Chains A and B, each alone.
Chain A
Amino acid sequence: MRNPWTRTGNYKTSYAQDTTIFATYSEQASLAVFLIGMLVLPQFLSRGDMQILDLILIYALAVLGLNIITGYAGLINIGHAAFLGVGAYTAALVAPYLPFWAVLPVSGLVAAAAGAVVGIPALRIKHLYLAIATLAFQLIFEWAVGHSPALEQGGAMAMPRVVFLGYKVGFKNHHYFWYYVTFVVLVVMAFGFRNLLRTRFGRSLVAVRDNDRAADAMGMDPGRTKVFAFALGAFYAGVAGALYAYWSRAVVIEDYSLMISIKFLAMAIVGGLGTLVGSFFGPAFLELLDINMETFSYWIKTIYNPPGVDVGSAIRPLAFGLAIVLFLIFEPRGLANWWRLLRSYFRNWPFKY
């Protein structure tokens, strides 16, 4: 009996049908519910909550870019924050002359160009060596910004206030406005990448990750594919960087430092490397953890607060580091694995697996 609501009752009769992403009615329905839920969510949240939610969504876009490079193409990137930085500084430089919806793609493209440059060593080196090269690029980026008078030597560069369709974005609606912009951009770009994954572009990324010699024998140039992976991932990062610049109202080098690159890697791992949903889970988990640890450290201060010790700057990295280590040891496939188990339970219902 055909039952389009579950996978067990869903027959595919053409190859085109077999390429669909959300195959059953129930999957399509839950997607619709989720999207609508996200659209009405701001109605129920305070400005403070919105600020955090915005940050999570912007980081989700950044981590999606990192997942393209590191998760799908298998190229360890310790310099992802620098790609956001390139996007953010581009935004700071062009925002006075362009509307924001034009700034975002411009930032993405400039970052993609930077990504292609960083990817060039991938033509000659692999694995660890490549990871160390990206680390060097990150440090060189920070140094270069710190020595550029045009970029305020890394100090604050203010972002202009945005007017959209006659609607002035000010103090009160700032986080709400950027929530919707980020949400739309994120949904479009996430679907874009999901589509790429079922074409030769996405498959070639996985091919160079799994076996780049075999990829060569399949007729694709592994070097070019890796450069493409860096450029594509950096494009996502660049757009995220521009959004971050608008969201934080200013561009400062600390927001694009090595620490942030490490944070993105941690988010990708905790979420689940090489998974789309992981790009959302990772930032949400680690940002919420960070906020809770801030509160927690206030509590700690009431029992342990010797002179010369800043408990806040101890507890947060401690929790962050522990989260990484514990996930790697106990759930190396990240939160996405829990999601996968949950989903396959519902999808194969009424069968167990």
Chain B
Amino acid sequence: MAQLSVENVTLSFGGINALNGVDVVVEPGELVSVIGPNGAGKTSLLNCISGFYHPTHGRITFEGHDLTHASPHTITGYGVARAFQNIELFGGVSVLENLMLARHTYLKYSIGAASVFYGSARRVEVENRRVVEDVIDFMELEPYRKALVGNLPYGVRKRVEVARALSLEPKLLLLDEPMAGMTLEEKEDMVRFILDILAERGTTVILIEHDLGVVMDISDRVYVLDFGMVIATGKPEDVAENPAVIEAYVGGAG
């Protein structure tokens, strides 16, 4: 059975369909990319999966949990994490604290223990710090550990955004344009991180990306959205040949 299934999802805002009967199926361990022109509904799809929007029609399930009407924090609890397109970090605290915030649901101790910072509170904090340090190491963020996120350069903040999602130890990771606005070098780093996430952590990844070169190189399968509808799906090389896709990207004669 598929890990994530989006069945016939429609999302309307005041009569306009941002998504129109979209079907998406993702198997465990896959890297699935979603591409399409601006305004095609890519981010809307991620918003529906992660619970920020609720579909008008259709159904979304993840490992047997119904996500259709669930709230973002419930969905996060099922093991779905998301890195946002327009960096949504906690600007007033350090990188370390941003990542520790992602461990929120793993930190199980009482308010009593927390107020004296002794026993379980201290032990659990230290254990989770270790998990977070692994992620810092993995994403090569060591120099910025204690830096305020608000003061970091754009490329680093993008990386923190992914690191924070990773700190949730998700089964499914949703990456919304993690490379947008990056330099070539930063992009190459990010691609390497994504491939490592798949290889070392076995996390399923859904990637939204505009750089078709990257998408075609690393994806297992690709979905192409246009005007809220899936116009093509399949292996990267098949999709690239698809006339409908070329039409959407290059534009038809009419």
- Whether the complex brings A and B within 8 Å at their CB atoms is answered yes
- In chain B, positions 102-145 with a C-beta closer than 8 Å to chain A are 102-105, 107, 109, 111, 114-117, 121-122, 125-126, 129-130, 133
The one of B51, B121, B129 in contact with A15, judged by C-beta atoms closer than 8 angstroms, is: B129
Across the interface, name the chain B residue whose C-beta is closest to A14: B126
Tell me whether B73 and A221 are in contact (CB under 8 A).
yes
How close is A265's CB to chain B, nearest CB, in angstroms? 20
How close is A226's CB to chain B, nearest CB, in angstroms? 13
Tell me whether B168 and A219 are in contact (CB under 8 A).
yes
Give the interface residue-count category, chain A: 20 to 34
Give the interface residue-count category, chain B: 35 or more
Measured between beta carbons, the chain A residues less than 8 angstroms from B101 are: 203-204, 207, 215, 218
Tell me whether B126 and A16 are in contact (CB under 8 A).
yes
The reply to whether the CB of A148 lies closer than 8 angstroms to some CB of chain B is no
Answer whether A219 and B104 are a contact pair too, CB < 8 Å, given A199-B114, A211-B88, A213-B52.
Answer: yes
Choose, from B15-23, B35-43, B90-98, B214-222, the stretch at the interface.
Answer: B90-98
How close is A116's CB to chain B, nearest CB, in angstroms? 14
Bound Cα distance A192, B113 (Å): 10
Tell me whether A15 and B133 are in contact (CB under 8 A).
yes
- In chain A, positions 153-195 with a C-beta closer than 8 Å to chain B are 192-193, 195
Answer whether A199 and B82 are a contact pair too, CB < 8 Å, given A19-B125, A210-B90.
Answer: no
Q: Identify whether the interface residues of A are mostly helix, strand, loop, or mixed.
A: helix
Measured between beta carbons, the chain B residues less than 8 angstroms from A211 are: 88-91
The reply to whether the CB of A209 lies closer than 8 angstroms to some CB of chain B is yes
The reply to whether the CB of B64 lies closer than 8 angstroms to some CB of chain A is no
Bound Cα distance A95, B11 (Å): 59
The reply to whether the CB of A343 lies closer than 8 angstroms to some CB of chain B is no
Tell me whether B107 and A199 are in contact (CB under 8 A).
yes
Bound Cα distance A59, B50 (Å): 44
Across the interface, name the chain A residue whose C-beta is closest to B83: A217
Instruction: Please list the residues of chain B having a beta carbon within 8 angstroms of any beta carbon in chain A.
Output: 50-52, 71-73, 76-77, 81-82, 84, 88-93, 97, 100-105, 107, 109, 111, 114-117, 121-122, 125-126, 129-130, 133, 164, 168
The one of B50, B81, B111, B122 in contact with A19, judged by C-beta atoms closer than 8 angstroms, is: B122
Tell me whether B125 and A195 are in contact (CB under 8 A).
no
Across the interface, name the chain A residue whose C-beta is closest to B91: A210
The one of A192, A193, A217 in contact with B82, judged by C-beta atoms closer than 8 angstroms, is: A217
The reply to whether the CB of A47 lies closer than 8 angstroms to some CB of chain B is no
Tell me whether B109 and A19 are in contact (CB under 8 A).
no
Bound Cα distance A218, B115 (Å): 22
Bound Cα distance A179, B116 (Å): 24
Tell me whether B126 and A218 are in contact (CB under 8 A).
no
Measured between beta carbons, the chain A residues less than 8 angstroms from B50 are: 217
How close is A189's CB to chain B, nearest CB, in angstroms? 9
Measured between beta carbons, the chain B residues less than 8 angstroms from A18 are: 129
| 21 residue pairs A–B, Cβ–Cβ below 8 Å | A15-B126, A15-B129, A15-B133, A16-B126, A19-B126, A192-B116, A193-B115, A195-B115, A196-B111, A203-B93, A210-B91, A216-B51, A216-B52, A216-B72, A216-B76, A217-B73, A218-B76, A219-B76, A219-B77, A219-B105, A220-B73
The reply to whether the CB of A214 lies closer than 8 angstroms to some CB of chain B is yes
> Which one of A203, A213, A222 has the greatest number of beta carbons of chain B within 10 Å?
A203
The reply to whether the CB of A206 lies closer than 8 angstroms to some CB of chain B is yes
Tell me whether B90 and A207 are in contact (CB under 8 A).
yes
Measured between beta carbons, the chain B residues less than 8 angstroms from A301 are: none
Across the interface, name the chain A residue whose C-beta is closest to B107: A200
Measured between beta carbons, the chain A residues less than 8 angstroms from B51 are: 216
Nearest first, the 8 A-B pairs at minimum CB distance are: A219-B76, A199-B114, A210-B90, A195-B117, A216-B72, A219-B105, A192-B115, A200-B107
Tell me whether A203 and B104 are in contact (CB under 8 A).
yes
Bound Cα distance A19, B97 (Å): 12
The one of A198, A209, A210, A219 in contact with B73, judged by C-beta atoms closer than 8 angstroms, is: A219
Tell me whether A220 and B104 are in contact (CB under 8 A).
yes
Across the interface, name the chain A residue whose C-beta is closest to B52: A213
Bound Cα distance A198, B101 (Å): 11
The one of B71, B116, B133, B168 in contact with A218, judged by C-beta atoms closer than 8 angstroms, is: B168
Bound Cα distance A210, B164 (Å): 15
The one of A203, A213, A215, A217 in contact with B97, judged by C-beta atoms closer than 8 angstroms, is: A203
